[in-house]
Structure 1
Amino acid sequence: MMDIVIRNGQVYDGTGNPWMKADIGIRSGKLAAIGDLKGEQGRTEIDAEGLAVCPGFIDTHVHSDLLCTKPDIHHVKVLQGVTTELLGQDGISVAPVSEHTKPLWQQQLRGLNGDIGDWPWNSVDDYLRFLEQADLSGNVMYLVPHGAVRTLVMGFEDRKATPEELSRMRELVELAMREGAVGVSSGLVYPPNVFADQAELIEICKGAAAYNGCFVVHVRSESSRFIEALEEVIEAARQSGVRLHISHFKAIGGANRHKFADALALMDKERANGLEITFDQYPYMAGSTVLQTILPPWMHEEGAAQCLVRLADPEIRERIKRDFLHNDNFENWVKNCGWGNIVIASVASERNRQWEGSSIAEIALLKQVDPADAAFDLMIEEQGAVSMVVHWGEEEDVMQAMKHPLQLFGSDSIFGSKPHPRLYGTYPRVLGRYVRELQTLSLPQAIRQMTGAPAQLLRLKDRGLLREGMFADVVVFDPQTVADRSTYSNPLLEPVGIACVIVNGTIAVRNGAFTGVTAGRVIRAAGTGSA
């Protein structure tokens, strides 16, 4: 007797192979049998006639590090077929911390990761144990964040690390890897990562490479210096021996569109030369992060609290405005995209809830102030807990990168009152718009880029494919109707066409609705006591 039998589906195994007609039997959380199961019975029977059956989707870029513990909020991910998420992104996450650095990161991350109250952890092991005791709707994995490690060693100082500090950072990365992290991340536009040089990147990458981990990185520039920024992390990967994964691949602003092709060619060249490199991408032409990211790096020294103090100084405001107009030495969202394309996604207080969904240009016009001052005032009033959506590009560029064999899908989803629509829509949007409607990808290709390919990046040996003996993370969907419904103006609409989602052999979504079952697990790196 099987726990679950899925019958009559078109089975896509996650490798990119065409579908095959097969039944799937699930027992004790594992894929027990795949084939003709007419002689088997299941306690639960699912008729998948006319439907696609594939591995659960692996989201390679999320910011669910805290809210994954709140299934009433977080279940929007499993509703779109995501059964595993990679936490700890952009070098800015919740562990490791100390009693001294914890308050800094709690304030720094409020606008990105949300707020669940006290953090009863310091080490990566502590944090993963906390997650293991939580109700998780899906599985989670963790990258040790560069910024958290750097802060433990040298705070938010804007300077190069000494040889002794580099050695200590590498030791901390190695410790986190032993505790279960699957790699190291950095975000070279975010403090304090932005203050690091290439030598520092090489050392933290050596710490991950020593334990077969990956380096997942938001490069220093995705606009005017995009190619140079790619070359920087490629060299760090080459010298450290780590495998390299580029986060949310894009070229920001019309003046930089040609760099899509140049960057793809560079990655092809490095692959040919023996460097294992991949990238992820979300299927939208706008990004989302915290509003403070628009500020130049020198504003972030000593952390968020000091940044907010500086923002109240009129002379400093004028210096920032000059940077917005003329400085290309940082990721200048204002210069590259304009105030009209920077939209407020969420705030922490009711006082400013009215601005959610409005651009900075619109807010400034209504308040009759300079757009920069409108942004500065909002950051101060919300104590930095403001997220934004930034419209940066064209769909044909997104499609060009999507078709590349090194591409994986990642939502980069951030929770909020009026979030980016990718939080609710990423995977159904790929399957509906880019597979069925535009035929940018074939269905087997898209499924591979959501399942088998990210499993390879993360060295998952028992997920990401449909193979007997693997964990039963499975999605059943209708290729003819699957679609996202979330939009920039109405982003909280759930997708359609995802019929059933199974996490570790337990039905988490049935008939398109969350069942309330929380069967997710913490997946630690191989050899560190995987749950």
Structure 2
Amino acid sequence: MGAVPVWAEDVLITNALIYDGGGGAPFAGSVRVEAGRIAAVAPALSARPGERTRNLGGLALAPGFVDMHSHADGAIFENPTADAAIRQGIATVFVGQDGESNYPLAAFFARLDKQPAALNVASMVGHATLRREAMKPNALRASAPAELVRMGALVEQEMAAGAFGLSTGLEYPDSFSATTEEVVALATVAARSGGFYISHMRDEGNAVFEALAELVEIGSRAKLPVQASHIKLATTPVWHQAALRVPPVIESARLQGVDLKADVYPYTFWQSTLRVIVPDRDYFNAAKVEKAIADNGGPTHLRIVRYEPDAALAGKTLDEIARIWKVTPGAAFMRIVRETEPVGDRRPEEGVIGTSVSEDDLRWFIAAPWTMFCTDGELNGAHPRGAGSFARILGKYVREEKVLPLAAAIYKMTALPASRLKLTDRGRIAPGFHADLVVFDPARVADRATIEAPAAPPVGIEAVMVNGEWVVDGGQVTGKRPGRVLRRPGS
């Protein structure tokens, strides 16, 4: 990954409870960091003359966490210290999600090389990004054969620049019209470069199992691993079905030779556009809209967090907005959609936080051995997931509710995603690996971010090291920016 940065800090870390990322039991020991990498791991290491030491007093030491679905790229240059991410132990963010990536990636990566962030950045190539580039001026339709050829060439270009594969957001406007055949064709191009496919699927609600079947079909036909983004069962008609209906999907994928995985964040509420609750885009069909609102918990469970035509409405529920406008919630939904219709390249903003996931389904996904963890968060977002996800898993779901053991959770935060990305020298505490490390207190770690205070930092994350440099120390952001661009191996 290039020359050793001048800021790399040599240090001997002692008296640590080491969770090495492999999923095994922790052990007491010491770790020596030299030139940005782990030089030695042992039950006890003696300090060399003049060597800087740090005694953890029995605190836990883990590899730096990998956020497998992040939107940190949206503000990485405005907020390069990435406080919301690093304070919860994240050392690497995986961006270019939901079909949206920086374009061209070569330029984005070059800028990050010159203006590094506090953490490492890896990216997918976004399907919607390619559609807008190849189908100008209108990507809100099916692609023509020549346009698909152009998109394939762009996938090759972005994979050569270092993308890890193809991402789609099939529930969103610019990709909604894409056929399965179009996605298979582009995923096949990504597969030729050793990439994988990740998708915000066509439906996360009533038709979620059909959407999962399409995901597996794409993997089978394109011959590449696939991943379901921020997996959830997000409408009441499919609640309480994860344990019953998802295992057959996993078995079907296995029989077809498809490596199916998913990422998940630890909240029963989600953030997206209000439009996604009507997946077939029939936004002005009153009966469908009313059913969609009901399936998502009702208008009190849909909180508008962004509304460009009237910013004063941000923070109010659909029910409250309907009362202000003196209309039904269905009519309020249609007015919001109508007043934020895209015009040319302009995308007027509207956003919603919906509470429509059952706790038992969420717990099942968190514990599943084939899921990894993510924030799906922005660096300055309105959803607490952006600042709290990893601490929430360690505190609420590991320590308090014992949904999974701590060692297993850390494996799903570190070595498993590193393996998915084929990063052979990250995600473990072992000699030769990059020194991405997290110091935390298992007895105290907890999230504090809420909808009312989405940026509130967690507690119990004492220090975070990225590439041998402390970016968080004593729970405080240091301002150091040792992050690197992680390009796909072989690109």
Q: Same fold (TM over 0.5)?
A: yes
Say whether 1:20 aligns with 2:27. yes
- Find the partner of 1:126 among 107, 110, 129: 107
Spell out structure 1 runs of 4+ moving beyond 6 A.
none
- Please show how residues 268-283 of structure 1 align to structure 2 within 5 Å: 268-283=251-266
Task: Provide the secondary structure at the position in 1 that maps to 2:481.
Answer: coil
Instruction: Look up the match of 2:102.
Output: 94
Q: What CA distance in whole angstroms lies between the structure 2 residues aligned with 1:356 and 1:415?
A: 19
Task: Provide the secondary structure at the position in 1 that maps to 2:156.
Answer: helix
- Find the partner of 1:344 among 304, 311, 334: 304
How far has the Cα of 1:375 moved from its partner?
A: 4.5
Deviations 1:310-369 (A, max 9, x none): xxxxxxx7x34344136xxxxx566433322111234568x524x333211112223423
Q: What CA distance in whole angstroms lies between the structure 2 residues aligned with 1:154 and 1:200?
A: 13
Instruction: Look up the match of 1:11.
Output: 18
Matched-pair identity in %: 32
Q: What CA distance in whole angstroms lies between the structure 1 residues aligned with 2:9 and 2:145?
A: 58
Deviations 1:191-212 (A, max 9, x none): 2211111111111111111111
Distance 1:388 1:415, change over 3 A: farther
Instruction: Look up the match of 2:439.
Output: 476
Distance 1:46 1:264, change over 3 A: farther
Instruction: Look up the match of 1:356.
Output: 314
Say whether 1:411 aligns with 2:369. no
Q: What CA distance in whole angstroms lies between the structure 1 residues aligned with 2:153 and 2:181?
A: 15
- Find the partner of 1:505 among 468, 472, 488: 468
Distance 1:337 1:415, change over 3 A: farther
Instruction: Look up the match of 1:442.
Output: 405
In structure 2, give the amino acid aligned to 1:240: A
Say whether 1:387 aligns with 2:339. no
- Please show how residues 241-252 of structure 1 align to structure 2 within 5 Å: 241-252=223-234
Instruction: Look up the match of 1:186.
Output: 168
How far has the Cα of 1:153 moved from its partner?
A: 2.0
Deviations 1:213-250 (A, max 9, x none): 11011111112211111111211111111111110111
Distance 1:42 1:165, change over 3 A: farther
CA contact (8 A) 1:346 1:387 kept: yes
How far has the Cα of 1:259 moved from its partner?
A: 3.7
Task: Provide the secondary structure at the position in 2 that maps to 1:284.
Answer: coil
Say whether 1:227 aligns with 2:209. yes
Deviations 1:13-32 (A, max 9, x none): 11101112211111111111
CA contact (8 A) 2:277 2:296 kept: no
Deviates more, 1:41-50 or 1:224-233: 41-50
- Please show how residues 15-414 of structure 1 align to structure 2 within 5 Å: 15-35=22-42, 36-40=44-48, 43-71=51-79, 74-95=82-103, 123-155=104-136, 156-261=138-243, 262-294=245-277, 298=281, 319-325=284-290, 332=292, 335-347=295-307, 352-353=311-312, 355-375=313-333, 380=339, 384-414=348-378
Q: What CA distance in whole angstroms lies between the structure 2 residues aligned with 1:178 and 1:460?
A: 17
How far has the Cα of 1:267 moved from its partner?
A: 1.3
Count of residues in correspondence between the two structures: 475
Distance 1:41 1:502, change over 3 A: farther
Q: What CA distance in whole angstroms lies between the structure 1 residues aligned with 2:80 and 2:148?
A: 41
- Please show how residues 485-504 of structure 1 align to structure 2 within 5 Å: 485-504=448-467
CA contact (8 A) 1:295 1:320 kept: no
Q: Which has the higher helix share?
A: 1
Q: What CA distance in whole angstroms lies between the structure 2 residues aligned with 1:138 and 1:334?
A: 41
How far has the Cα of 1:41 moved from its partner?
A: 5.7
CA contact (8 A) 1:5 1:42 kept: no
Distance 1:157 1:323, change over 3 A: farther
In structure 1, give the amino acid aligned to 2:124: L
Q: What CA distance in whole angstroms lies between the structure 1 residues aligned with 2:50 and 2:59?
A: 19
TM-score by length of 2: 0.91
Distance 1:511 1:154, change over 3 A: same
How far has the Cα of 1:137 moved from its partner?
A: 1.4
Q: What CA distance in whole angstroms lies between the structure 1 residues aligned with 2:179 and 2:466?
A: 41
CA contact (8 A) 1:2 1:41 kept: no
In structure 1, give the amino acid aligned to 2:142: K
CA contact (8 A) 2:36 2:469 kept: yes
CA contact (8 A) 2:81 2:480 kept: no
Q: What CA distance in whole angstroms lies between the structure 1 residues aligned with 2:353 and 2:51?
A: 45
Q: What CA distance in whole angstroms lies between the structure 2 residues aligned with 1:78 and 1:203?
A: 37
CA contact (8 A) 1:324 1:335 kept: no
Q: What CA distance in whole angstroms lies between the structure 1 residues aligned with 2:336 and 2:144?
A: 37
How far has the Cα of 1:518 moved from its partner?
A: 1.0
How far has the Cα of 1:186 moved from its partner?
A: 0.3
CA contact (8 A) 2:16 2:61 kept: yes
Deviations 1:84-103 (A, max 9, x none): 001100112332xxxxxxxx
How far has the Cα of 1:370 moved from its partner?
A: 3.1
Deviations 1:41-70 (A, max 9, x none): 675422212211010000001111121223
Q: What CA distance in whole angstroms lies between the structure 1 residues aligned with 2:247 and 2:375?
A: 20
CA contact (8 A) 2:398 2:404 kept: yes
In structure 2, give the amino acid aligned to 1:491: P
Consecutive unaligned residues of structure 2, counting only runs of 5 or more, are: 1-7, 342-346
Distance 1:129 1:292, change over 3 A: farther
CA contact (8 A) 1:344 1:359 kept: yes
Deviates more, 1:85-94 or 1:369-378: 369-378
Task: Provide the secondary structure at the position in 2 that maps to 1:448.
Answer: helix
- Find the partner of 1:432 among 395, 407, 414: 395
In structure 2, give the amino acid aligned to 1:161: S
Q: What CA distance in whole angstroms lies between the structure 2 residues aligned with 1:170 and 1:181?
A: 14
Q: What CA distance in whole angstroms lies between the structure 2 residues aligned with 1:126 and 1:496?
A: 37
